[in-house]
Amino acid sequence: MFPLTPETRPAARQGLAVGFATGLYGLSFGALAVAAGLNVWQAVALSALLFSGGSQFALIGVLASGGSGAAAVAASTLLGLRNGFYGVQMARVLRPRGVTRAVAAQLTIDESTAVALAQAEPAQQRVGFWATGWSVYVFWNAMTLAGALLGNALGDPKAWGLDAAASGAFMALLWPRLASRAARRIAVGAAAVALLATPWVPPGVPILLAALVAVLAGARPNWVAGREAAALQERRP
């Protein structure tokens, strides 16, 4: 999986660095999962099996705010659907078979996909994917365990700012993906819908409504692209 050569070593180093940085967010997830009512081993199992940071934060966020299990699973599933689209693209790069295919599916997340696609050559893409995927998996699960144990020892994570750390981590993952004007408009629209709905609907439903905004925008990509192209045309002298 890691055919390291002078050409592929930079991709491996980049993957390890991303994995370490991303894994640190697992500390806040573990603490918040325990605060939401999960025990240590449930939090660890969630990271090991679900292994999708945004989906995991959505699930425990809904549970912590009093939402139902169905709403928590629905919110988590909607956010996790993106990994399926990543998988279609990464299958062309990795061409995995047998057990390797199942492992690759588990490791197909935002970070492993981003590092892989940032590389120029197929060999570099494969090394970038596996180095990132495995390093994120190891660090994320180790930090989840540490955070869960720490959460039990410290009590309320809000007293230590770990609830804000989760939101900050989520925003840090989201911000680099808002590179285009269209993406920023969709994000603002989704946030507005969620804020307006929060006082009136059960916990978890605002997340589903916000996701629906993105789904509707994705169903009309030509309209979104057309609006952005028109805005660029207006700015030209």
> For 9-26, what is each residue's pLDDT tens digit?
888 998 898 888 888 888
Degrees, nearest 5: CA angle 217-220-226: 100
Q: Write out the residue range of the structural domain in which residue 202 sits.
A: 178-237
- pTM score over 0.75: no
Using the predicted structure, report yes or no on whether residue 233 has a pLDDT greater than 60: no
**Are residues 74 and 208 in contact, defined by beta-carbon separation less than 8 angstroms?**
yes
The more confidently predicted of residues 108 and 156 is 108
For residue 1, tell me if it sits in a domain. no
Measured CA to CA, the distance from residue 99 to residue 189 in angstroms comes to 41
Same domain for 185 and 73: no
Domain count across the chain: 2
Measured CA to CA, the distance from residue 186 to residue 232 in angstroms comes to 17
- Domain final position from 177, 201, 226: 177
Same domain for 123 and 213: no
Residue bearing tokens 């603002």:
188
Measured CA to CA, the distance from residue 22 to residue 32 in angstroms comes to 16
For residue 218, tell me if it sits in a domain. yes
Q: Which one-letter amino acid corresponds to residue 13?
A: R
Lowest model confidence (mean pLDDT) among 1-10, 90-99, 144-153, 223-232:
223-232
Backbone angles phi, psi at 202, to 5 degrees: -65, 155
Measured CA to CA, the distance from residue 204 to residue 61 in angstroms comes to 8
State the pLDDT at residue 118: 83
Measured CA to CA, the distance from residue 62 to residue 213 in angstroms comes to 19
Same domain for 153 and 103: yes
